[in-house]
């Protein structure tokens, strides 16, 4: 049964399908479509000509802009109509013509965005992707299926991230970059084929990270780039020697299981 809170404002030309749940203070603009399995939490705004469909939950105070398509089936030939989900956190901004797909059974069944995510114009979030909090996907970014992006990641415009790639917390990807391998937390990646070219020092400073921690990260980066042994050997040695929580986050990320190899420091 459809459930529309009495305080919601629905334009007469909008289509709200039977079964949808519309929370208090929501706004649905003209010519938008809300599917039968959609839940809009309180104060969600869906602007004109947007489509929200599939088994999709949109968190409080999020805004979906015109011509966005949210919750459609995956762009995956293996998808056979299984019941899977898209979960969007609080205060997200899904800008014009962005596309976000539900998950697949083989990928865990849920595509998920954290809180305060900005998905800019024309960007795509593929099936089963896991996007952290405060992530920014700039115009026309493509995040392939099964990717994992940590908190505070920024992906520059016109960039693509290959399926199954992990991007660690606080990393930044430059514009027009193709990322085919995992990126360490706080890494800086640029160049057309995605080269790890240092640390996201600007981001660390903006977040108020203490100078001592930044110094420790810089030393760790140099050791990963130039130390003895393999990349994994260096990471193991760092994990045993460091007292820095930030460096430990990097080493734990490197030493955890992954379907993709790592971009290694230059």
Q: What pTM did the predictor assign?
A: 0.96
DSSP string covering 142-184, please?
Answer: EE-TT-EE-TT-EE-TT-EE-TT-EE-TT-EE-SS-EE-SBB-
**For 38-99, what is the HEC assignment?**
CEECCCCEECCCCEECCEEEECCCCEECCCCEEEECCCCCCCCCCCCEEEECCCCEECCCCE
- Catalytic residue positions, numbered: 127-128, 145
Q: Which pLDDT score is estimated for 56? A: 98
Report residues of the chain scoring pLDDT below 70.
Answer: 1
73 and 79 in contact (C-beta within 8 Å)?
yes
Q: Which pLDDT score is estimated for 113? A: 99
Q: Residue 98: CA atoms inside 13 Å, Cβ hemisphere, count?
A: 26
Pairwise CA distance, residues 220 & 2, whole Å: 55
Q: Which pLDDT score is estimated for 197? A: 94
């Amino acid at each position: 049964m459809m459930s529309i809170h009495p305080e919601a404002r629905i334009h007469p030309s909008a289509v709200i399908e039977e079964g949808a749940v519309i929370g208090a203070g929501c706004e649905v603009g003209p010519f938008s479509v809300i599917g039968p399995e959609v839940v809009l939490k309180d104060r969600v705004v869906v602007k004109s000509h947007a489509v929200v469909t599939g088994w999709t939950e949109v968190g409080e105070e999020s805004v979906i802009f015109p011509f966005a398509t949210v919750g459609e089936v995956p762009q995956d030939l293996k998808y056979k109509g299984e019941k899977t989900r898209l979960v969007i956190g609080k205060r997200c901004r899904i800008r014009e013509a962005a596309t976000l797909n539900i998950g697949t059974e083989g990928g865990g069944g849920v595509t998920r965005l954290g809180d305060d995510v900005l998905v800019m114009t024309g960007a795509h979030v593929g099936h089963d992707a896991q996007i952290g909090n405060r992530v920014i996907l700039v115009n026309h970014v493509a995040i392939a299926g099964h990717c994992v992006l940590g908190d505070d990641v920024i992906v520059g415009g016109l960039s693509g991230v290959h399926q199954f790639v992990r991007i660690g917390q606080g990393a930044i990807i430059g514009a027009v970059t193709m990322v085919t391998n995992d990126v360490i937390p706080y890494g800086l990646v640029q160049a057309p084929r995605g080269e790890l070219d240092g640390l996201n020092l600007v981001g660390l400073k903006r977040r108020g990270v203490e100078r001592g921690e930044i110094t420790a990260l810089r030393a760790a980066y140099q050791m990963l780039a130039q130390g003895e042994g393999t990349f994994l050997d260096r990471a193991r040695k760092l994990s045993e020697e460091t007292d820095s929580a930030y460096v430990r986050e990097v080493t734990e990320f490197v030493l955890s299981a992954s379907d993709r190899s790592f971009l290694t420091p230059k």
